[in-house]
Homo-oligomer: A and B are copies of this chain.
C-alpha cells in the first residue's frame, strides 16, 4: 500500500473515531422519544443544514395530528464527534404554533445513540400584552428507532381530515 492509501486509511479512522468517549453520532435516520413521537432526519448537508419530518403523539387540544416538516442545522461537521444541533418544526395546518428544539447527540460505550434535546413551543397570541403566556418549555430524549425494510415515518402517519388542534 502506498503512502496515499495509508493517508486515506488514517483520514477514515479520524472521521469515524474522532471522540475518545465513543463513536461519532449521526443525526440522520429515524428517532423516537419517550412520548412515542417519531422524527425522521435527512442526510446532513456540507453546510450543516438538514430537513426532516416530525410526527407528534401529543397535542395541546387533541384532534387530528399530521406529519410536520422540520428544518435545522448541525454544528461542526467532521471536527466534533457529538455536535450540538437545532431545528424548527412548523406544525402544518392543525396548529398555529411553532416549536424549536436544541440538543446534542451522544453515543454511549455500547453504541447506543441518544439525542438530548430541550424545546420551546410557541403559540400565537392576539397581542403583545398576551406574549407572556405564549411559550412552553420542555425536554425530549430521543433514541434511534430501527426501521424494518426501509419503513419510513410516513408509514406511521395517520390519515385524517383537516383539523384545528394546536399541538406539540
Cβ–Cβ contact A138 & B135, under 8 A: yes
Interface residues of A in 100-124 (CB under 8 A from B): 100-104, 106, 108, 114, 116, 118-124
A32 adjacent to chain B (CB < 8 Å): no
Chain B residues near A87 (CB, 8 Å)?
88, 100
Chain B residues near A116 (CB, 8 Å)?
128, 131, 134
Interface residues of A in 18-77 (CB under 8 A from B): 21, 35, 47-49, 58, 60, 69, 71-76
CA distance A51 to B127 in the complex (A): 26
Chain B residues near A90 (CB, 8 Å)?
48, 73-75, 86
One of B58, B128, B131 near A133 (C-beta < 8 A)? B58
A99 adjacent to chain B (CB < 8 Å): yes
Q: How far is the CB of A140 from chain B (nearest CB, A)?
A: 8
Known: A88-B87, A102-B122. A69 touches B80 (CB 8 A): no
Chain B residues near A73 (CB, 8 Å)?
69, 71, 88, 90, 98
A75, A98, A137: residue with the most chain B Cβ atoms closer than 10 Å: A98
Given contacts A75-B91, A100-B100, A133-B138, 8 further A-B contacts (CB under 8 A): A21-B127, A71-B72, A73-B98, A75-B96, A84-B98, A88-B102, A102-B121, A132-B138
Binding site for B on A (CB under 8 A): 21, 35, 47-49, 58, 60, 69, 71-76, 80, 82-91, 96-104, 106, 108, 114, 116, 118-139, 168
For the complex of A and B, list the 6 residue pairs with the smallest distance between their C-beta atoms, beginning with the closest: A86-B88, A100-B100, A84-B98, A86-B100, A102-B122, A137-B137
